[in-house]
Amino acid sequence: MAQLTDDCFAHGGALTRLDVALQDLLSRLTPVTDSEDLPLAACFGRALSTPLVARNAVPPSDNSAVDGYAVYHEDLARDAETRLKVVGRATAGHPFAGPQPRGTAVRILTGAVMPAGPDTVMMQEDCSLEGDVVVIRPGIKRGANRRLAGEDARAGEAVIPAGRVLNAADLALAAATGHGSLPVRKPLRVALVSTGDEVHEPGGPLPEGGIYDANRPLLAALLGSCGCIVSDLGIQPDRQDRIAKIFAEAAACHDAVVTSGGVSTGDEDHVKAAIEAAGGRLHFWRLAIKPGRPVALGQIGRVPFFGLPGNPVAAMLTFAFFARPLLQRLAGATPVMPRSFPVTAGFAYKKKADRREWVRVSLHEEAGGWRAEKYPVDGAGVITSLTRTDGLVELPEEMQRLEPGAPVRFYPYAALGL
């Protein structure tokens, strides 16, 4: 298992642009998970450890893309029908034996290897058969309906890069290029912790002044969406000794620790002291974003620690746009930022310069595209602003005022793992 340097999360404390912070941190982080060989059926959603090199060409040989007749293009008349004797048959898995003589045709079915010599396949719908003679209409192009060997992948070609999180199509390509198993990264093991005397388990009684723990289910789902194996360590009380013990135990058997809230400087915010008591260090990153400016990053020994904001909306945003790419790098996967597409703003909005903001919106279809309408309540603790909207509109650092009708970038929640 790779080890991180002690200062990989160090930061001076100044307000930092999100893209600058990510570039800085990603340049310092290295994968911490080991590699293992697994059969293809077990590789879905895993990060490829090394580039996938094709062991054979795909397709291995020239073959027919249609049911028809294999012919030499030079044998075909340009302006009149051509009559050729059919001298054999080729089907998938059963090639025509021997070279095909000039001036002849071979009946060929889809996927069958092209006979030696012919360069063109005439589709059966464009031919007629008279006994053992096929009548071919003029006008077909040389090479029509022939798949070339290696047109999908060449033998020895790197067809999938290392770090790719494998999907179904990747597994199909791996199989086609001769691989029955692949070297993949083991899943990142993440310990998830909530802290606070006011935080209570959902479903139980709620005393006065208490709140139910909404962040732990949220973060467990988000971690699962990026392939992590999550250990739920529950809710820990506001006791430094207890939190320190939990953190030390978590770091002994996990690749990362994630929590939310409790990392400020209040009298009952014990996370920083607990991490230091467990042999770690904590650094506060003040990101130029809204919601979610304060993020705590550190290490418990050599195990990364992510302290996300306590408000659910802020926790979701900082995870999606900040923590997730870092966890992907630690897991040996190539970090991939969420996909977005342009829509038209249906609202006006003012914001501070030099800060990136995300606004919760609903989409409405209109002639020529989509219009985004802002949710009326902005609070970072308003969970219904996530359940009653479709996604986020991103307002870049240089923008100070958004006018209705202006183009904006929209991130659907599905792209964020929700």
Instruction: Give 337-386 pLDDT, tens digit per residue.
Output: 999 999 999 999 999 999 999 999 999 999 889 999 999 998 999 999 99
Give the pLDDT band of residue 8 (cuts 50, 70, 90). Answer: low
Instruction: List strand residue ranges (DSSP E) for 248-368, in order.
Output: 256-260, 280-287, 289-290, 294-300, 303-308, 341-345, 349-350, 356-366
Q: What is the largest CA-CA distance in the chain?
A: 96
Span 15-34+186-330 CATH architecture: 3-Layer(aba) Sandwich (3.40)
- Judge: domain 341-416, CATH 3.40.50.11260: no
How many angstroms separate the first and last alpha carbons of the chain?
A: 30
Domain segments of the chain: what residues? 15-34+186-330, 63-147, 341-416
Share of the chain above pLDDT 70, in %: 95
Distances (CA, A) of 213 to 206, 236, 256, 300, 310: 11, 11, 21, 24, 10
pLDDT at 6 over 70: no
99-103, 120-124, 271-275: least confident range: 271-275
Secondary-structure class of domain 63-147 per CATH = mainly beta
Kindly report, residue by residue over 141-180, the tens digit of the pLDDT.
999 999 999 999 999 999 999 999 999 999 999 999 999 9
> Does the pLDDT value for residue 2 go beyond 60?
no
Q: What pLDDT is recorded for position 196?
A: 87
